[in-house]
């Protein structure tokens, strides 16, 4: 943020009185503009043992596979958001089930919340943000071509839980800003 959305003046980055983190502060109108994580909602839709995957037609990670997911909108629940994304990306009507995973994507300032889901019927298609949509057998999941680590994590936990006959809720954090382990680590 360079300019104040309230008054259009250039903002400064400083720690407001009584705060402990640098914020975007407008010296003209005194507004403090907080930047907080955004919520991404998605689901792992299943139909007759297969998982619905979409190949992305948009950046980031164009051409890579994902489950339906996207930024939550105002005035919707997480479940409604996950169902909306399934429709937009895969023209699929889904029944959203139990929460599956909460992934803190620290480097992207996002929290990804994934649900289990079932296709309401066998119908699906290719939405505007997808190149290709497929009902994938677990053994055919293209693990090397999954778009985001939160999707890999969710698919892994989904399949583990399904095999074990349980509906777990899994938490993890991903931070790509951390130094990578060296060779042999
Ligand atoms: Zn201002």
pLDDT digits (tens, 9 = 90+) for 11-43: 999 999 999 999 999 999 999 999 999 999 999
Compute, in angstroms, the gap from residue 17 CA to the centroid of ligand 1. Answer: 17
Compute, in angstroms, the gap from residue 37 CA to the centroid of ligand 1. Answer: 22
Compute, in angstroms, the gap from residue 27 CA to the centroid of ligand 1. Answer: 7
**What single DSSP character describes residue 180?**
P
Q: How far apart are CA 92 and CA 42, in angstroms?
A: 13
Compute, in angstroms, the gap from residue 32 CA to the centroid of ligand 1. Answer: 8
Compute, in angstroms, the gap from residue 11 CA to the centroid of ligand 1. Answer: 7
Higher pLDDT residue, 177 or 70? 70
User: What pTM, to 2 d.p., does this model score?
Assistant: 0.90
Nearest to 146 by CA among 84, 72, 54, 59: 54
Compute, in angstroms, the gap from residue 145 CA to the centroid of ligand 1. Answer: 44
* Sequence-separated (6 or more) residues with CB below 8 Å from residue 144: none
Q: Which residues pair with 85 in a beta bridge?
A: none
pLDDT at position 170, please? 98
| Distance set, CA 143 to CA 87, 125, 154, 155, 161 (Å) | 23, 22, 12, 9, 18
Compute, in angstroms, the gap from residue 24 CA to the centroid of ligand 1. Answer: 10
| pLDDT surpasses 80 at 184 | no
Give the model confidence (pLDDT) of 113-170 as tens digits. 999 999 999 999 999 999 999 999 999 999 999 999 999 999 999 999 999 999 999 9
pLDDT at position 181, please? 58
Compute, in angstroms, the gap from residue 56 CA to the centroid of ligand 1. Answer: 38
User: Please, which pLDDT band fits residue 183 given cuts at 50, 70 and 90?
Assistant: low
User: Please, which pLDDT band fits residue 178 given cuts at 50, 70 and 90?
Assistant: low
Compute, in angstroms, the gap from residue 91 CA to the centroid of ligand 1. Answer: 42
Compute, in angstroms, the gap from residue 1 CA to the centroid of ligand 1. Answer: 12
Give the model confidence (pLDDT) of 108-128 as tens digits. 999 999 999 999 999 999 999
Tokens standing for 24?
């975007």
* Sequence-separated (6 or more) residues with CB below 8 Å from residue 37: 104, 109, 110, 111
User: Please, which pLDDT band fits residue 78 given cuts at 50, 70 and 90?
Assistant: very high
**Phi and psi angles of residue 109, each rounded to the nearest 5 degrees, phi first:** 55, 45
Compute, in angstroms, the gap from residue 13 CA to the centroid of ligand 1. Answer: 13
Compute, in angstroms, the gap from residue 26 CA to the centroid of ligand 1. Answer: 5
Nearest to 130 by CA among 81, 72, 73, 86: 86
Tell how far CA 147 is from the center of its chain: 11
Asked if 148 contacts 176 with a C-beta cutoff of 8 angstroms, the reply is: no
Q: Which residue has the tokens 């699906």?
A: 124
pLDDT at position 182, please? 59
């Amino acid at each position: 943020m360079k300019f104040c959305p309230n008054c259009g003046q250039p903002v400064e980055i400083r720690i407001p009185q009584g705060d402990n983190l640098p914020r975007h502060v407008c010296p003209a109108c005194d507004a403090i503009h907080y930047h907080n994580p955004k919520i991404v909602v998605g689901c792992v839709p299943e139909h007759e043992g297969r998982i619905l995957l979409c190949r992305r037609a948009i950046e980031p990670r164009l051409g890579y596979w994902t489950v339906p997911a996207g930024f939550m909108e105002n005035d919707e629940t997480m479940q409604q958001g996950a169902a909306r994304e399934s429709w937009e990306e895969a023209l699929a009507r889904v029944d959203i089930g139990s929460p599956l995973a909460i992934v803190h994507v620290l480097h992207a300032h996002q929290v990804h919340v994934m649900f289990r889901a079932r296709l309401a019927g066998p119908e699906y298609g290719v939405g505007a943000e997808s190149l290709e949509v497929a009902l994938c057998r677990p053994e055919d999941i293209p693990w090397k071509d999954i778009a985001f680590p939160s999707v890999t994590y969710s698919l892994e936990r989904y399949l583990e839980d399904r095999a074990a006959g349980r509906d777990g809720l899994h938490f993890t954090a991903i931070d790509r800003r951390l130094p990578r382990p060296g060779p042999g680590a």
